[in-house]
Every structure is written in structure tokens, then in C-alpha cells.
């Protein structure tokens, strides 16, 4: 589908997911047309990228707020840390780091009763020779590629998403449908991920383990993923309801540093 937009440019970076947005300055207030077209690009491409945007916390919050209410991380013990603004988290890694956030494909905080709608990451500092890419995967394309028999099997199943596995005691544990429907596009999505999904509830743990192993491998096939190479002052803004993502830690001891905000979900995931 062609992007017939007037105020911004859109360049797809893969057939199923991801597009770079141009002809826009996120340090300035956005027009109604720009906001409308950003929404269109966001829902069409699932994750949108911006380059050469030297934004402040206030800029990041302002832009993200065009898509909904900003929220806070639900994890109790996290690798990312608070910043000097309560709605902005710091994602900083250097020679002292022993691990980073998000090294497995996942959807952010799917353990929450109402998971985040979206996340926006701004990296102001990146490794000098590449590295630190982020991979994104389309859960639309992953669902569409399932066999009809598998779609029928998964219909009506639910899974437990256990936040204590990643963020420790006190983090939410929630139950969501294995197949959900996106509240805006209406498309069906596979909604399980390696980090948070502990088991499918309606079958034995042995059967659950086998099915989840298949789904994890299926969801992360290269055929429906893209890989974003960061440059200084670039931004990735992704829809947590229909994507998974994974950070690649191949740059130690170099620095990758930035800030992230997240948007509150509009409601609990609904079965597809």
C-alpha cells in the first residue's frame, strides 16, 4: 500500500514492518496534518523511525502525547533507570554494564493488566562503529502465516504473563488471550513472548511448552522482521500491541545512551 501523505515522507525499510519518517522537525510543535499522517504511518508500518532529531525530554513527551497518555514502567527491579523527569526513563550502557534491557524478542511489559500501547526510544549517543541495532517483528505477519489448523487451535486460549520472571517480586502477573485483535486496525496478533509468557492456561505444561517454543520461533522469523541501525539523535517509536522487539548487545565496551517514554494502553488485550 502506497503512503499518499502530504506533510511527511515515509520510506519503508522492509515489506512487513518499519518505515523511516522524513520532512519533520520534532523539536517544533506539530500541525494537525502532521499528527494525522504520523498516526497513519504508525498504524500502517507498526514502528516508525526518525533521524537527526536533537530532542529534549519535553519534546519527546509532547510528540508521544499526540498518541495518548504517558505512563510509567510497571517493573519493580529494572535495568533501565529513572531520569530527572518522572515520565522519562534512562537507557544507558557502557563499559561497566553487565547486561542490557531487552535481549530477547518481547512486547514491553505484557505482564501488566493493561500493557503499554507504545514505546518511544531516543538515543543521543551510539557506538562509534555500528552495533546496538534493534530488531522488530510484525505479529500481524506472524499470525497471517500460521496454518488454518493452528489458528483454530489457538483460538480461545489464554496465557499467563509473569512479570516477576524479568522484574522481580511485586511486578504484575496477568492473563491475556494468545490471539488478540488490535483495537485500531482490527487485525489479529499473536500475543505471547519469551520474556513474560510463562504458560498457556488451558493445556498441560508439557503441551504449553511445545506450543510456545513453536510460536516463539515462528514469531521471530526473519521474513517478518526489520533491523534498525541507530545513528546519533535517532528515534524508534513502536506499537506494543502488534510488534515484538529485541536489542542487540554487540557494542561493549562502547556507549549507547538514550531515553524512553511509554504510552498507557487503552484497555486490556481483547481476544481475536
Distance CA(212)–CA(207), nearest Å, equals 9
Q: Which one, of 268, 267, 263, lies nearest residue 69 by Cα?
A: 263
Provide the pairing of β-strand 256-263 with 118-125: antiparallel
Beta strand 89-93 with 179-181: parallel, antiparallel or unpaired?
Answer: unpaired
Residue pointed to by grid coordinates 519469551? 194
Q: How far apart are CA 133 and CA 58, in angstroms?
A: 25
Strand 19-22 to 9-12 pairing: antiparallel
Catalytic residues: 106, 108, 245, 260
The dihedral region occupied by 170, where left means phi > 0, alpha psi between -120 and 50, and beta the remainder, is left
Burial classification of residue 7, based on how many CB atoms lie within 10 Å of its CB (0-12 exposed, 13-18 middle, 19 or more buried): middle
Question: Vertex 230, ends 228 and 234: CA angle to 5°?
Answer: 110
Amino acid at each position: 500500500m502506497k503512503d499518499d501523505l502530504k506533510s511527511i515522507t515515509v520510506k519503508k525499510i522492509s515489506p512487513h514492518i518499519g518505515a523511516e519518517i522524513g520532512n519533520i522537525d520534532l523539536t517544533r510543535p506539530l500541525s494537525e496534518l502532521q499528527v494525522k499522517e504520523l498516526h497513519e504511518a504508525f498504524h500502517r508500518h507498526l514502528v516508525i523511525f526518525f533521524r537527526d532529531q536533537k530532542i529534549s525530554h519535553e519534546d519527546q513527551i509532547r510528540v508521544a502525547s499526540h498518541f495518548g497518555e504517558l505512563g510509567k514502567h510497571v517493573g519493580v527491579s529494572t535495568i533501565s533507570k529513572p531520569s530527572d523527569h518522572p515520565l522519562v526513563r534512562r537507557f544507558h550502557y557502557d563499559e561497566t554494564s553487565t547486561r542490557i534491557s531487552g535481549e530477547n524478542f518481547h512486547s514491553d511489559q505484557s505482564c501488566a493488566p493493561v500493557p503499554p500501547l507504545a514505546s518511544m526510544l531516543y538515543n543521543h549517543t551510539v557506538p562509534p562503529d555500528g552495533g546496538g541495532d534493534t530488531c522488530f517483528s510484525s505479529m500481524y505477519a506472524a499470525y497471517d502465516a500460521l496454518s488454518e489448523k493452528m489458528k483454530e487451535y489457538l483460538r480461545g486460549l489464554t496465557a499467563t504473563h509473569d512479570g516477576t520472571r524479568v522484574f522481580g517480586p511485586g511486578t504484575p502477573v496477568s492473563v491475556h488471550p494468545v490471539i488478540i485483535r488490535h483495537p485500531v486496525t482490527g487485525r489479529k496478533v499473536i500475543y505471547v513472548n519469551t520474556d513474560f509468557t510463562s504458560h498457556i492456561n488451558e493445556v498441560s505444561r508439557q503441551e504449553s511448552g511445545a506450543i510456545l517454543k513453536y510460536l516463539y520461533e515462528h514469531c521471530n522469523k526473519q521474513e517478518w522482521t526489520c533491523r534498525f541501525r541507530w545513528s546519533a539523535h535517532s528515534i524508534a517509536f513502536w506499537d506494543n500491541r502488534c510488534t515484538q522487539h529485541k536489542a542487540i548487545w554487540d557494542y561493549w565496551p562502547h556507549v549507547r545512551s538514550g531515553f524512553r517514554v511509554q504510552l498507557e494502553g487503552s484497555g486490556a488485550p481483547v481476544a481475536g
